[in-house]
Chains A and B, each alone.
Chain A
């Protein structure tokens, strides 16, 4: 369980969520994105390809991150959600709040 952050093609800050994004580790992700924002990053992509589960606290953390990124004039995209995880976004209607693509390549191409 953890996060890896790298600079993807162009000027996109890519965060991969390994394992789970839940109440026990959501603050870690929020802190990582906040630190990158403070360092001047503005384009963010969070990749869930290797993520097994996101709980409601994790969803709330993504909403919070999205707000902070927008307030700084930036953009947040999500990618790599499997069918189960995507259903959580659809049930909560959060699929209407985020730009979600199937793959990181698709997200990066449109940034």
Chain B
């Protein structure tokens, strides 16, 4: 991957004094609305989230799935792959958990309208499994009122 890489901007912020219940390290990344960026962005964020902290193989996999699905949804469904719009990823590395916010510049959606793709009649759907996977693999999922920002919490086991 060559062209999209040049437009990635990574900002890692480290808070010196541990704040009980708050973030000790924050990783943020502004991503262009280009699906060819997804693989590299996910690698980058997961590497930063798991560096210097204990992360099991399964934890790392679930984190990877959650970020990849949320980012792809934000780029494709949220921003409509409009290259003039960006997706902001912000990860808070807490003592007991990692909390990841993914925010697009779209109008938002109602997450309650997303159906259950694992029902027998819906098995042959070719889309609509991203949010379902996120909900199955992370410990807590929340949206902002507008529906253009998802917050996913994964507890360290």
Contact = CB atoms under 8 A, between A and B. Distances in A.
Nearest to A19: B39
Given A24-B38, A53-B64, A59 B124 contact: no
B136 interface: yes
Main secondary structure of the interface of B (DSSP, over half): helix
A8 interface: no
Contacts of A22: 38-39, 68, 72
A63 B129 CA distance: 12
B132 A88 contact: no
Chain B interface category by residue count = 20 to 34
A94 B36 CA distance: 26
Nearest to B137: A91
B138 interface: no
Interface in A36-82: 53, 55-57, 59-61, 63-64, 67
B124 A63 contact: yes
Interface residues of A, number: 23
A94 B120 CA distance: 10
B147 interface: no
Interface in B60-117: 61, 64-65, 68-69, 72, 76, 117
Interface string B10-33: 000000000000000000000000
